[in-house]
Amino acid sequence: MRLTLLAAALLATSGSLAAQTAPDADAAAKAVANDVLHWRRDIHQHPELGNRETRTSKLVADHLRSLGMEVRTGIGATGVVGILRGGKPGPRIGLRADMDALPVSERGDLPFASKATTQYRGETIGVMHACGHDTHTAILMGVAKALAAMRKELPGEVMFVFQPAEEGAPEGEQGGASRMLAEGLFAEFKPEAMFGLHVIAGIPSDTIAVRPGPFMAGSDRFTIKVIGRQTHGAKPWGGVDPIVTAAQIVTGAQTLVSRRAELTRAPVVLSFGAIKGGIRYNIIPDSVELVGTIRTFKPDMREDVFTGLRNMAEHIAAANGASVELQVPAEEGNPVVVNDPALTARARDSLLRAAGPGKVIAIDPITGAEDFAYYANEVPAVFFFVGATPPDRDMKTVASNHSPDFHVDEAATLSLGTRAMLQVSMDYLYGVK
């Protein structure tokens, strides 16, 4: 009888050890909510472009040091990495937030709206967190504080990655996830799983969106310089008009998607973002510069667009007596973001616990891009969206990310984002499935 009771007691004890219960993510998120709100507003009011996030990175580094973490700065220009070592053995995970803003002049009337300006491509323009990276940074700072508070009982180790230049480095510089990895981000601490989030307009702020497999497009930037010969606007036959030539290239390039790409296989996008040339109404200039982006999901379709755009630009220019200087692509682009299917299935259960029934939706692949893809190429990873729009708004008409009118449903989005990242992290560390 004694042996039976002893055996039962041992089985009960070992079972309780195997089935660990993660702390309450909702309570942990609420404990840091005021801090997250304060940080978000502060960062929003003081935005910085890629590789120039000096104020933001100092704010982050000082915060992580105050939590007793091992902190590394200066990786990937202005990147910050903190390592939290739990009091118990367990897995290693990585959590990432991006810190950079965009050259966009804010139009909103927030009391903490950005008034910052900068010189960008030769023009004075505002600087704004028009893509929500201020919320990402504030959320991860809050997650760091919440997890550090439970350090003694926490199983495993967490790498907090605060990344610069997700939107791209300044011309002539390297930046972002690829640079952080090249400079040894995973050299001494390689996580077995990596998680990241992005707030997004057009999805309700009580909802999370995610999908396994290919999630966000690969992206490439291109530059086409059309070279003509300057002449008087009243005498176009006296020169070669690069403006007309550039216009034909812009128009013709659209057929590379509408008539050449097999869109039933995967989406393709080719967009021109800037046309610069000329200085005066009655002078036909020497040259015009075109810059734009290409978004694809398939390597062969990507190469087809590159080849088609080069050929089209060269032949249209030749037909007009002009020439072109091409950078197609202009630099190494972002790969496709691919969510690990098994890890996504596991994370989805955690996201459901954070958001509630019916509030985690599947989403089709999107043609937005993210250099989180570089981490996902190194370790199993999951990237998910947190809605940024009040549920009572028309999701089809709200200003999108990258708009000067981009708006975050602040309290709801910050709360859900913090809760979701905490739930995903703690469930993985505690082995909850």
**Which tokens hold the place of 371?**
């250099």
**Residue 420 is encoded by which pair of tokens?**
């979701």
In order of 141, 386, 401, 406, the CA distances from 206 in angstroms are 21, 8, 18, 18
- Report how far apart, in Å, the C-alpha atoms of 133 and of each of 1, 105, 185, 308 are: 63, 16, 20, 35
Taking the alpha carbons of 129, 130, 132, 133 in that order, is the dihedral positive or negative?
negative
Q: Which residues are catalytic?
A: 100, 166
User: Residue 136, class by beta-carbon neighbours within 10 Å (0-12 exposed, 13-18 middle, 19+ buried)?
Assistant: buried
Strand partners, 82: 71, 160
Which among 169, 162, 176 has a CA at the least distance from the CA of 56?
A: 162
In this structure, is the dihedral angle defined by the CA atoms of residues 121, 125, 127 and 129, taken in order, positive or negative? negative
Closest alpha carbon to 413 in 393, 396, 428: 393
d(CA 219, CA 238) in angstroms, rounded, equals 40
Q: Token pair of 98, please? A: 């991006």
Cis status of the peptide bond prior to 47, with omega within 30 of 0: no
Which pair of tokens denotes residue 168? 């791209």
Q: Bridge-partner residues for 292, per DSSP?
A: 222, 272
Sheet of 360-362, strand order: 70-75, 79-85, 155-163, 88-98, 193-204, 381-389, 208-210, 360-362
